[in-house]
Structure 1
């Protein structure tokens, strides 16, 4: 396949450019579900006039369907995207990024989607779709699956659908999270994932950020302890990765701790733990839920995060050495690879 693409690049470069453009349009329509021409043009940073001819071509080929409410992908269009995905990864240079990261960190799998989540809502949606696909691939029946909060995890939840492999599973929050926006709380995401897949769920109604006294008090509560024990049965965890200082502000970490994290070189946050460039844990928030020792015993740890701004944070968490699978985007992957040589 690579040899054919190399020949096409030399003899028919315009053909490959056209293929990229049409793939991108078709892919946007698939991820959007139903989308109007104006919205799609804005998302692709093009004009409706330029888009119109491409949309007409895709409709003539039977790859999309146009209704009064907008455009949607057809069954044939979805099948085409699935069949050409390996070629597209080669075309965008994503295979090489995936393999470099996978081999360097010793991961089971790396999935890189085109684009930059920082600047493209579509890329963030695609990140969620890819994360959902990876979860379906690795989950077994009757599993307990722990999930963290955040906007990326909310996208993963949105793209989950009913699956035989998820029947009988339980979704649980990896930690307390009542301090965040309701839509992005781990509780909300766990319940959404369960409802979308026909699985079950349990919730943990405790604040995300606790003082030591409050933490010790909660750990004496029999109901809370029972739920925590259930959460710690999880063999799969799917989680986001945050920039350390951004997450410290969002979690309302006190000024002294924030200053200490900054001075110590904290770059990433995951599971309530803060990591430096070498993957060393610098600080743990006193939160109720999964502990780092629970995560180290997991059968499958799936990290889903993207955006150029998170590249350094992703690399820091990978250096910790407990990830099994990474789902990220092109912009973040380029940053991670850049750090390998810097």
Structure 2
């Protein structure tokens, strides 16, 4: 049913649309947070337990929810139905229009906007990952080399991506070396998990992300690196997060001098070891081994995932720096980005 058709239905039975939207939100929250108890779900929904109980009972009677001692989860039928109704939910909530306007503003062909703001509600990161994972699984072809960066949102993608069988000769590789100390969010870990979902194989890159010139030269002569680097740089699909410039520099334990340089040059975003200003210009590049911007440009599909109003400047910067085919973000970032665009046009 088209958006205009839903608008006509809403005029006739507005109460029906309210029930539909509420139940869709419940299914979305359960999908993101499961297993979750009723009290915690009521708090996440901003509803009383009494109100929520009747809705959960109705959804359970329809076979869409399962309950256990650990909490509520979606049934297989519930998950299938939710995926079918995601476009409806987006249209009813105005996110389809939001995504279209953001696509025009950023010149990104395909934009998906999920509910919420991950700066405020951490579960929204899981929704971004889930939406991006479903899109990615459908887009993969036999023989693809998929490069992934680290980070919480890309990790959420790998965790929630559906299993897909029947693909041949799939490789999943880390785009770069290790950043941070949380193993679950490192590119090697994410590559291994996603490869398992796809029935493919993963390639590991056990090196630090930031290197001195001497270490870089030595590693480039290492047979271990020489074997893996050409595979990584032949990526046909790239999935990456987008980082705030100074936040990423601090995660890499940048020196005070480097932080001062990034501030002086007005760095707004980091991706693939490059720091960009608001115009998408490279203002600083790290010594790193892995995927280069030229490799990204040669790939068939580039998927970016990032959410939260605080990431708006970073998203805007990288959208001007290189080609992004798909951006999956949230309402918080989308609305802030459009506000920034409106302020610039004034």
Is this contact kept in 2: 1:179–1:207, CA < 8 A? no
- Alignment: residue pair count: 342
Q: Which structure 2 residues correspond to residues 153-232 of structure 1 after superposition, within 5 A?
A: 153-164=154-165, 166-177=167-178, 179-232=180-233
**CA separation in 1, counterparts of 2:161 and 2:77?**
21
Q: Which residue of 1 aligns with 2:260?
A: 259
Report the aligned-residue RMSD.
1.9
Q: Report SS of the residue matched to 1:214.
A: helix
Partners of 1:122 and 1:166 in 2: how far apart?
30
Which residue matches 1:311? 312
Q: Quick one: distance in 1 between partners of 2:84 and 2:224?
A: 49
Given the two structures, how large is their TM-score scaled by the length of structure 1?
Answer: 0.93
Contact 2:297 2:322 in 1 (8 A): no
**1:165, distance to aligned residue in structure 2 (A):** 6.1
Q: Secondary structure at the match of 1:233?
A: coil
On the 8 A contact 2:149/2:241 being kept in 1, the answer is yes
- What do residues 89-137 of structure 1 show as CA deviations (whole Å, max 9, x unaligned)? 1111111121122234333311111111112232111111111112112
Q: Per the alignment, in what secondary structure is the counterpart of residue 140 of structure 1? A: coil
| Structure 1 residue 8 displacement after superposition | 5.0
The DSSP-based 3-state class of the residue aligned with 1:116 is coil
Write the deviation string for residues 7-39 of structure 1: whole angstroms up to 9, x where unpaired.
Answer: 455555444333222111112223334322123
The alignment status of 1:103 with 2:108, answered yes or no, reads: no
Distance of 1:298 and 1:280 partners within structure 2: 21
- Structure 1 residue 205: Cα displacement: 0.8
1:136–1:166 Cα contact (<8 Å) kept: no
What corresponds to 2:277 in structure 1? 276
Q: CA deviation at 1:190?
A: 0.8
Match in the other structure for 1:34:
35
Do 2:106 and 2:316's aligned partners in 1 also have CA atoms closer than 8 Å? Answer: no
Residue 125 of structure 2 is matched in structure 1 by 124
Separation in 1 of the partners of 2:9 and 2:235? 48
Aligned counterpart, 2:19: 18
Structure 1: distance between partners of 2:165 and 2:197 = 12
Unaligned runs of 5+ in 1: none
Provide Cα deviations, 1:179-218, integer angstroms capped at 9, x if missing partner.
4421111111111111233210111111111111211121
Partners in 2 of 1:8 and 1:233 — Cα distance? 50
Contact in 1 for aligned 2:173/2:188 (Cα 8 Å): yes
Quickly say closer, same or farther: Cα 1:297–1:158, change in 2 above 3 A: same
User: Separation in 2 of the partners of 1:302 and 1:245?
Assistant: 23
Distance of 2:165 and 2:109 partners within structure 1: 23
Q: Which residue of 2 is the match for residue 302 of structure 1?
A: 303
The answer as to whether partners of 1:231 and 1:289 remain within 8 angstroms in 2 is: yes
